[in-house]
Structure 1
Amino acid sequence: MSFSELGLNEAFAATIHAAGYENPTELQKQLIPLITQNQSVIIWTQSASGKTGAFLIPAINYILNNPLEEHRHARILILTSRRDRVNQINYTIKRLLGDEQQIRSGFIVSGRPYQPQMRLLRRPLDLMIATPGRLNDLVDNNKADFSKLEMLIIDDLSAIYHKGLHGLINKILSERTSACPAIVFVRKEEEVSNYARAILAGAQELEVEEDKNPLLQIPQVVHLADDYTHKIALMDHLLDEFAGEPTYIFTVTNKTAKALAESLANHGHAAEVAASLAEEERDPSINPILIYADQDNDKPVLRGDEHIINFELPAKVEDYEARFGSLPTDSREEAVIAVVLPRERENLKRIEDYLGDSIEQCTLPGLAPLEHTSNFTPSVRSPRSHNGGQNQRNHSQNPGQNRGRSNSGQGQSRDNRERRDNNRGGQTNNRSQYDKPRQDNNDPNRQQQRKGPYGRMNNGGQQQTRRNDTGSGGNGNYSQPRRPHYPNANMQNRDGGNRGYEIGDWEKKQDYASTTPQDKNAGDKKVVIRYKEKRRIITNS
């Protein structure tokens, strides 16, 4: 069965398919037709696959089929108990609609100024997403009117009830009209079940088997990276934020794990590959940063309070799920982070299809990806030459230099290079190696001009400049809440951004560690030079 068979708008059904939703889940098959028929429904599940799409797809379809140019207040209200769910729902809306935003939406959450949210309540929104705590404050100040609601969706009635905010639910239901359906997701608990049946008498009841998959109950975020260097920059920033706290990093191969350990060592982080350590040395108190490779078939015992970073995404969802087999999901609030390259986008899509929901994509200040698009399709950036085409001028000034080489041969060589770059999935450098100016082999400074791995200078070179938290070499006045990778923190999403930073700032020739007086951890940062010591031994010999 496809989404077009569920009675949806044909154009919207095509957009859903283009967004990557190929076939509806079991919950979506049963719930979408009931909502399109304008019926109130109680769903006895909380973690069924495809839950977000199950209520967002018919809600957006209703807005598209019933457009209103002149109206006040929100037409559809979605209540959810957590701030990270607000971000996830907002991101899913944009993914379902594609590039053209066809509806007006807004969100109300705690931690934001009151005045803009008061004005938001009076704006003609098609869809509003809100957490009950802040919305309840606005209701107490008589700033909310629910008499014009056309649909009410409660994402987790059980959590709202246990927080003592069921009075807000009663007020909304008392003000709504009889034509306004209510869609409520409830866990099967006796007290909450009786309350749900009491406030929604005569509603359809739908029971879907709970998914025991722990992935559905783990908060997850994605950071997009342009290439390996960008990945290392993101890792350096995140590990600086963790400040020596227990961190587990997952890779696919053992080779990548060893290369990652060396890269992090060059940035001052003592990371160890777990497979090379004895069992007693894998204690986080001894080695706080441990790297586990799927290839080694060795998984850590997770307690639930550690940081988890997926440096690589496996091709099989089963391998991704196996990484978190021992992770307790009951009280997990820390987000599992994935750093994704363009060539790993298909692996991410498989995981999202398996979950039935999209994973929120976030950015860090000054480390936003260049490919900052909704589809995130890899692209090949054409190589740039020095000084606006220096090579072409050299050829024109020395006509005899290329004697004996035909123009067709040069074109064929360039075509081969471009084809090779395409096969690499767009992971090319900004400047092609063929466009670099020739260097004199007798130049005594040539050794100092060579760059080491990931853009660092070898053997002295020019003095490193260290990046402060402004991301662009500013005065370091930017202040950001600690650990922006938490979904319930003030993290920037892909479309929010920060005006103090520009996309691609991370590419500037600066280090990624802060030395501003505001950075308390800068002086305590351990610099690991074991790999550089090996190079010294070889040089002296």
Structure 2
Amino acid sequence: MTFKDLGLSAALVKAVEEKGYTKPSPIQEKAIPFILEGKDILASAQTGTGKTAGFTLPVLHYLADTKHPKYRPLRALVLTPTRELAAQVYDNIREYSKYVNIKSAVVFGGVKAKPQIATLKNGVDILVATPGRLLDLHDQKAVSFKRIDVLILDEADRMLDMGFVRDINKIISFMPEKRQNLLFSATFSNDIKKLASGILKNPVSVETAPQNSTAKKVTHQVYKVDKKKKTEFTIKLIKDNNWTQVLVFTRTKHGANKLTEKLIKAGVSAAAIHGNKSQGARTKALKSFKDNSIKILVATDIAARGLDIPLLPHVINYELPNIPEDYVHRIGRTGRAGAAGEAISLVCSEEVEYQSEIEKLLNEKLNSSIIAGFEPTDTAPPKRAATQSKGSFGKKKKPGSSKVSNGSKPKNKPHFKANKTSGSNSGRGRTSAPKKKRF
């Protein structure tokens, strides 16, 4: 089957073929015909399989095929969880719409709103946005949702994880009830199904791979490593194998900065990308990584959903995620579009349970090895670490001190000692709560 066989216009087919695509991927082949028919879609596909083209191409076909109101009101809206993903989707829309009369734009936070307002004022057919900035612009009356025909939620599960459900519902409340809704996600959960039931009308369910599956050409390797030797082992892996492009994931922003500094000190070019970085710094780091100006990009999970790096060969989990589904999204940055990739995880003793939860999710055992000189020193069975709540942006509570804040013991109450592995504290025996460290 070809893109032309799917019913797309000649102009769109020409643009797609110029990008080197001649045959639609399974998700595109299944979703595009239903979207062209105007049906609501609930679609799941593993990351890197062409989901973006799966919804942008038929929506562009619809917009180009229908009459443009003179003042160009917004008619299609794509909501994404992160700035990087918004920019990526927008780039694809521009490339696919080069031969059709469609105006597109992207808006997200971290940059000045004035240029975005000016762009919207000139009229936009399709807009890609993050929820927070979009609501700000709506409050400023810079954008209207009254004429929207198509709403697309991309990576909807991540938007829920990041706490955007209220923003999404508020945005939807300003839209006409009669519209087409497309919900795309790499993974499904009960929360996603609940969200879908409130938005989609008689949806067609499209799924091209088992939920939470990973690309077939990605190999998984776990190294059991002492926690204090992870940085040394990471540098050894990169140097011994002469790797030139590696995406490394940490759990915290502070950890990403610290590892980046140590890599640079060891003579390995690197940059960090996370939520505390300005949009300019994030864009510069990603560009340098893509054009091989730097070898290593160190990222938190905010980057797991929005980075599109062609033929990325290696992903390293410097720390395992404490939400198993995030493992799928992290390693989904490699092995994209049918290419081979390698996912390496450095697992210390306290992360063994995280590995078990990931293996349960994937329904497969990950190959594990121990390298002489880097063996974990703590071989005792680890206690379960505090599970990160969804929407906490990768933060992990730091164990509290056993001392009270004013240095004295409370009257008539025992002095409780903090559990070092629980990541939480009961708070008993304190005159005030301990300060939490911000990552």
Q: CA deviation at 1:178?
A: 4.3
Q: Is the 8 A contact 1:42 1:185 kept in 2?
A: yes
Question: How far does residue 145 in structure 1 lie from its aligned partner after superposition?
Answer: 1.9
Inter-partner Cα distance in structure 2 for 1:195 and 1:37: 23
Report the TM-score, using the length of structure 1 for normalisation.
0.42
Q: Which residue of 1 aligns with 2:214?
A: 212
Q: Partner residue of 2:315?
A: 324
1:151 to 1:248, Cα distance in 2 relative to 1, 3 A: farther
In structure 1, C-alpha distance between the alignment counterparts of 2:39 and 2:64, rounded to whole Å = 18
83 and 355 in structure 1: CA distance in 2 versus 1, 3 angstrom threshold: farther
Q: Is the 8 A contact 1:46 1:156 kept in 2?
A: no
Conserved? CA contact 1:73–1:123, under 8 Å: no
Q: Equivalent residue for 2:172?
A: 173
Equivalent-residue separation in structure 2 for 1:182 and 1:136 (angstroms) = 19
Deviation sequence 1:394-421 (CA, Å, 0-9, x none): xxxxxxxxxxxxxxxxxxxxxxxxxxxx
Cα pair distance change 1:73/1:21, threshold 3 Å: same
Contact residue 51 and residue 184 of structure 2 kept, 8 A: no
Where does residue 29 of structure 1 map in the other structure?
A: 29
Contact 2:78 2:153 in 1 (8 A): yes
State the alpha-carbon separation in 1 of the partners of residues 171 and 332 from structure 2: 35
Question: CA-to-partner distance for each residue in 1:208-236, whole Å, 9 max, x for gaps?
Answer: 315503999xxxxxxxxxxxxxxxxxxxx
The residue matched to 1:289 in structure 2 has which SS? coil
Is the 8 Å Cα contact of residues 21 and 353 (structure 1) preserved in structure 2? no
* Separation of aligned partners in 2, 1:25 and 1:212: 16
User: Relative to structure 1, is the Cα distance of residues 331 and 83 closer, same or farther in structure 2, using a 3 angstrom cutoff?
Assistant: farther
The whole-number CA distance in structure 2 between the counterparts of 1:189 and 1:161 is 10
User: Within 2, Cα distance between the matches of 1:110 and 1:57?
Assistant: 26
Structure 2 counterparts to residues 81-100 of structure 1, below 5 A: 81-98=81-98, 100=99
User: What residue identity is the alignment partner of 1:289?
Assistant: G
Q: Distance in 1 between matches of 2:69 and 2:236?
A: 51
Q: How is 1:229-378 mapped onto 2 (pairs within 5 angstroms)?
A: 288-289=266-267, 323-324=314-315, 330=326, 353-354=337-338
Aligned residue type for 1:213: A
Residues 214 and 246 of structure 1, relative CA distance in 2, 3 Å threshold = farther
Please report how far the alpha carbon of residue 196 of structure 1 lies from its aligned counterpart in structure 2 after TM superposition.
Answer: 1.7
2:135 counterpart residue number: 136
State the percentage of identical aligned residues. 24
Q: Tell me by how many angstroms 1:162 deviates.
A: 3.1
**1:348-402 superposed Cα distances (whole Å, 9 cap, x missing partner):** xxx874369xxxxxxxxxxxxxxxxxxxxxxxxxxxxxxxxxxxxxxxxxxxxxx
Matched AA of 1:24: P
Q: What's the offset of the Cα at 1:68?
A: 1.0
Which residue number corresponds to residue 183 of structure 1? 182
Give the secondary-structure state (helix, strand or coil) at the position aligned to 2:70: coil
* Distance in 2, Cα, partners of 1:67 & 1:246: 57
Cα 1:336–1:310 change in 2 (3 A) is: farther
Q: 1:214 to 1:118 in 2, by over 3 A?
A: farther
Corresponding residue number in structure 2 for 1:372: none
Whole-Å separation in 2 of the counterparts to 1:125 and 1:45: 29
- Partners of 1:78 and 1:155 within 8 A in 2: yes
Residue-by-residue CA offset, 1:126-148 (whole Å, 9 max, x unaligned) = 11111111112223445432110
Give the whole-Å Cα distance in 1 for the aligned partners of 2:239 and 2:289.
Answer: 8
Cα pair 1:248 1:308 within 8 Å, conserved:
no
Specify whether residues 149 and 54 from structure 1 end up closer, same or farther in structure 2 by C-alpha distance, changes over 3 A only. Answer: same
Alpha carbons of 1:323 and 1:146: their partners in 2 closer, same or farther (altered >3 Å)? closer
Corresponding letter in the other structure for 2:338:
Y
Contact 2:80 2:155 in 1 (8 A): yes
In the TM superposition, residue 56 of structure 1 has moved relative to its aligned partner by 1.0
Residue of structure 1 in register with 2:63 after alignment: 63
Match of 2:11 in 1: 11
How big is the shift at 1:97? 3.6
Matched to 1:197, the amino acid is S
Q: Give the direction of change, closer, same or farther, for the CA distance of 1:214–1:26 in structure 2 (3 Å limit).
A: closer
> Kindly tell me: are residues 354 and 336 of structure 1, through their superposed partners in 2, closer, same or farther at Cα, counting changes over 3 Å?
closer
After superposition, the Cα gap between the structure-2 partners of 1:246 and 1:143, relative to the gap in structure 1 and judged at 3 Å, is farther
Distance apart, 1:177 and its partner CA = 3.0
Report Cα offsets for 1:413-441 as digits up to 9, x if no partner. Answer: xxxxxxxxxxxxxxxxxxxxxxxxxxxxx
Q: How far apart, CA to CA, are the structure 2 residues paired with 1:196 and 1:45? A: 16
Distance in 2 between the 1:57 and 1:79 partners? 16
Q: Do the aligned residues in 2 keep the contact of 1:76 with 1:127 (CA within 8 Å)?
A: yes
Q: TM-score, normalised by structure 2?
A: 0.51
Q: What secondary structure sits across from 2:151 in the alignment?
A: strand
| 1:161 matched to 2:163 | no
Unmatched tracts of structure 1, length 5 or more: 217-244, 261-283, 292-306, 314-319, 339-350, 357-541
User: CA separation of 1:176/1:353 partners in 2, compared to 1, >3 Å: closer, same or farther?
Assistant: same
Q: Does the C-alpha gap of structure 1 residues 193 and 247 become closer, same or farther in structure 2, counting only changes over 3 Å?
A: farther
Q: Tell me the secondary structure at the aligned position of residue 315 of structure 2.
A: coil
1:116 corresponds to which letter in structure 2?
P
| Contact 2:27/2:45 (<8 A) preserved | no
Q: Which amino acid aligns with 2:127?
A: M
Distance, in Å, in 2 between the alignment partners of 1:163 and 1:80 is 11
- Aligned residue for 2:152, secondary structure, equals strand
Assess, with a 3 A threshold, how the Cα gap between structure 1 residues 249 and 160 changes in structure 2: closer, same or farther: same
Partner of 1:111: 110
Task: State the 1:111 CA deviation.
Answer: 1.6
Label 1:353 to 1:214 Cα distance change in 2 as closer, same or farther (>3 A): closer
**Structure number, greater radius of gyration:** 1
Say if 1:195 and 1:15 are closer, same or farther in 2 by CA, change over 3 A: closer
Distance 1:84 1:16, change over 3 A: same
Partner of 2:197: 197
Rate the CA distance shift 1:309–1:20 in 2: closer, same or farther, 3 A. closer
Counterpart amino acid of residue 212 in structure 1: T
Shift of 1:45: 4.1
Deviations 1:44-73 (A, max 9, x none): 346261111111111111122124151343
Q: Which amino acid aligns with 1:129?
A: V
Q: What's 1:394 paired with? A: none
